[in-house]
Structure 1
Amino acid sequence: MATGMAVIPPARLHMRCIQPWFSSVYRLNRDSLDKSLSLPTKSRNSLDRWKNPANACKGIPFFQAPPSSLLTTDASLIGWGTHLNSFAAQSKWPLSKISLHIHLLELRAVRNTYAHFLPLITGSHIKILMDNIACMYYINHQGEARSLSLCMEAMKLCNWCISHNVTLSVAYLPGTQNMIVDKRSHTFPHNYKWEMHPLVLHNLFIQWVTSSTDLFATYQNKKCPRYYSRAGVGQHSLGDALLLPWDKDLLYSFPPFPLPLKVWLKIKRDSAHIILIAPHGAKTGLVPLPDAARNVYLQKWSRIQIWCTSHQISPVSGTLPHVLEYTLTLKKSRLSLSSLRVHLAAITAFHQTVERYSVLSHPTTKRFVKRITNLFPQPRLTTPSWDLNLVLKGLTRPPFKPMATCSLAH
């Protein structure tokens, strides 16, 4: 089993079940090599995987695919925080977990992070950046025999990744460079719970239609039988509303005050039917983008609207081939690949989803961008090749003077 660790990906992981027992009954400097050992039932069951030749023949690729996303995590004795692309999450530890060792909390934070971002990372290679060297070692080595609790937690994480087709790698990031998630693991808002007065909401449901799903709630203040919660925390929560599709029946939403624009854009992308409670003028002044990025997106979007109008196409619900046709016209006008990506990002912010994908993350769009890159490669400045004979020939010309003829006085 030890010799297979280099060529069989889960070999090290499936050897960890035997290591704690073996370390407790055998010492190299104490016991003889002829000592007989009897495997307990639990350790014996862990060997069943090795009886299947197909598992032993699984190899590893010569070239590992690069990570598709970078994810940062951090944990404290209060809670945990994480950050993935433009998404972030945090949560406090329950009282039963506060007394655990910080290393164990760091590993739990990674597992909670993966469970939270599951719709975004399934089938991907994710690289985690964290400021705990011990946890980095335990994850990269799929456990370790020195600490049984840390080994078991690392094994749970690795088995979870295998079951969800997630490739995991961890690198060290100093805490001074990990300030975003470090703050999220230590600082928690106290005013994130809000609700509509039950009598007011009851009158709204009577006037319109009763919804069965509350998008932004907790288990204590939910107004519908089913509910989504912040970071998917809470008993019977369906998950984080902003990470999942809104293609169900009529939904009810009373989002936090910083989120109305995000909710509005997601309604347009998912073509959702929703009862939205938001303050007057919430679409202005609360944009979750910097002013510069917002202005760029609006500028690109106005250009897209002009093109769609001339072709009698809806800019919000146009088909994906129409979007790619517009992108191709931009490329023919000699726009760079980075500019095309900005246009696609602007379309994604306003366009409805296509087959549950955003425009930019759709597999067809990815293949299209890759094909464009191959058809219009960026010119590269090549360095002239080094010609040693040419250099030596140049050095032998005047004012070259051999060392043997030089005077030692100089």
Structure 2
Amino acid sequence: MDNIRSVLNLLQDSSYLTSLDLKDAYLHVPIHLESQQFLRFAVVLEGESLKTISLRKAMALLGTITSSFPAIQWGQLHSRSLQSWILSKWDKHLSSLDKRVMIPWSVKQSLLWWTEPQHLSTGNLWEFPTQYIITTDASSWGWGAHLDSLTAQGQWSSRISNRSSNSRELQAVWEAILAFKIQIWKTHVTIRTDNSTVVAYINHQGGTRSKSLQQQASRILHWAERSLKSIKAVHLKGDTKLPSRLPEQMQSVPGRMESQRPGVSSVDRTLDCSSSGLIRQKEQCEMPDVLLSLSPRRTMGSRCLLDQLEPSQNVHFSASTFDFQSTEQNLSRPGGSNLDCPVLAKKTVVCSATTISYGSSDPSRSRGPVNSGTSGASQSEPSSSFSMEPEWRILKSKGFSNRLSETLLQSRKKVTRQIYSKAWRVYNNWCEANSRDTGHSNSVLEFLQDGFQKGLSSSTLKVQVSALTVFLDRKLAEEEDIIRFFKALRRIRPTIHSRVPSWDLNTVLQGLCEPPFEPLVDSSDKLLTIKTAFLLAITSARRVGELQALSILEPYCVISDDRITLRLDTSFLPKVVSKFHRSQEIFLPSFCNNPSNQKEQKLHCLDVRRCVLEYLQRTKSWRTSNALLVLFAGKFRGKQASKSTIARWIKQAISLSYAQQGKQLTSAVRAHSTRAVSTSWAERAGASVEQICKAATWSSQNTFVRHYRLDVLSSADLTFGRKVLQAVIPP
């Protein structure tokens, strides 16, 4: 049957007019609103249930959808789920076509896309223009890509390097579009690659031969649907010399430069970073080949390499190539060095600029936008995290725009969205393996029962219920059967909350009053930092994340004669984002400020105001961050400490105090336990529950009573026993 693709092959230059049957062209010819009712079509599956369908009817539906591909831009992409499901269920016998099978939730969600009028009425261009061309290449070692004069590259993780070449090439396309996403946002993009499989999977919007390649292509295409106007791929011959091409990793040979030598990183040889921050082509470079000595790169909590490299890590590059043929000739030279290979760069040749360069590449790790060095203006664009895709589809199925959907996705923290998405994937796989309907309450309960029998805790199961509530768009936690299920779990496997602290506050405070923590002027930077971090945690009862966000700048830090008042930076978002949680100040009072005897002198050692002032004075000469707690050693000395580092300092303060007094901890210590210990001892000392909740930013007293209050052996608990003992004493 003639279609748009066949017509395009017939058209030639200077063709002015052609005719086409209206039944094949009506999707492209604008139809008046009043006449659209006569040109509609619908697929009616008589007698079919929303839960099950015969394969014959499913194939008929797929055929109808397939006929619209030339007229609907992303139609082929949104048919792959149905197509793959049919292929997995059909055993190639005609007798099985009338067999009824259950429709998975993923297939239903993909079909919802076809119910949105804007997807069917937009139409499709005969030929999409090319605004940007991205050339990609991949090897077993890493990936590379270039866009005009910009180049990006990265090294594979061990998991990705063991994949097939087709998978690595598709992964290279994904890394490339993320690297250049600011430049290509809402444009027409062409991908050039020497892998024909990648070309086929992109141009055909997926495929059915390989499930893993289909998943990779689907991620690329779903991102392109939201973020680009169009994407296509063209094939390049394998012998074409590409700036993005990367060599395979070399064998370990004496005298040869290795791409993974400890402490040395080979520099991208296709770019020149000028001192002005602009990127130039390699023909403009005049300096000799160099290698740059690198220290371990900074990472965020998710272990992603920071996009912004240190200024000292940017160098000029030359256009000459490595001479790997002269290795054997140089083996006889002292040290086995290859004089034709690049030499280690000296600091005098390092210039300040920004390059596009990445480290190990992992699809599970998110990437930030690349700083091309050509513009300092920030650009706003929707998130590209593929973990949001199921929830994104649900929001789109409700008729929400892209902007509104992006806003609603931010209602939960990123880590929460990742946990929910993982729970949803596990649930869908379980339903498919057990032939169950994802939307039925019985399926949810059976899934929870299966998790319970595998040993999952009640809290984990509640997280799964919260995740399913999001994707099923139902308040599962309020359904009677779900409530009854968790009530039964509390009786079968009751949750045990330990009311005994895992460490003794008196022991730790006693250790902090003695050497090597005291006197402060003689303590090391490490011990002073550890003591300050612990006293901050114990006197404020705040989370580690809030301690990390504390600043030394006014008005966030106000030093008075009897206290230090700390306020959270307005840009910091606590765990609970509310006016109450963001407005609570932290007061660090002085303690025995004017000691008159030996006991008060010892108590004065626990003065948190005194510790903070000494800490600020000690770090003044080498601190490079406005954060209150900074690193005391290493290359990044003076920079802001991470949450994990602060937590480690708090635990070290406890363990060192125990070791100093010859005692041993009986159980593992968590930094978060300081909130429970400090508030429990404050209550014993006479602080009201209202004061405790305000200091610890708990909006409800139940939070303290149910989860944090510990038994610190208050005197009231001893009253009954003492009265009994007094009864046996003769008058």
TM-score by length of 2: 0.29
> Which is greater in Rg?
2
Higher RCO (CA 8 Å, separation ≥ 6 residues): 1
